[in-house]
Amino acid sequence: MKQTVLVTVGAGYIGSHVCVELLQQGYQLVVLDNLCNGSAVALQRVQEITGRSLTFQRGDVRDEPLVRRLLETHGIDAVIHFAGLKAVGESVAQPLDYYDNNVSGAIHLLRAMAQSGVRNLVFSSSATVYGDPARNPIDEDFPLSATNPYGRSKLMIEEMLRDLYLSDS
């Protein structure tokens, strides 16, 4: 039996495509999405394409008790974290919304995972953490230099994950 995966924002473009692949590989899925950047119709299509069902919970990743309940009730083995606001221009105009949603959301998710004993995470970051690169393609060793609130929010989460790993690998 395959593992059960929680996908945050599985009803978005990238998340829904990942859901198709995971279901086709035999994983059980729970999708948490507030639908601000996604559609429940996308999840219906995922199930039609794969011929498999998934569990959908409309909600926000910042709702730590809800996340903890999903992790524990469904026996989640791993989390794929796509949840986050993602428009660079909007992040410049509304930086606090981006820090609240992206950074605070990650903190609540990580805390719920720790409390539930879930230690496997795939985090969807962004190339914006590299700022305005002097060359392409960018590789993993390229200097980090976010130039907008969206990129900085993703970089902050990467730094939090590094710190968590260092505290308990």
**Roughly what angle, to the nearest 10 degrees, separates helices 149-167 and 105-116?**
20
Active site residue 98: no
Q: What is the CA radius of gyration of the chain?
A: 16
Among candidate residues 27, 98, 130, 150, the one labeled active-site is 150
Please write down the long-range contacts of 23-27, taking CB distance under 8 Å and 24 or more positions apart: 23/47, 23/50, 23/52, 23/54, 24/50, 24/52, 26/2, 27/2, 27/3
**Which residues form the catalytic set?**
150
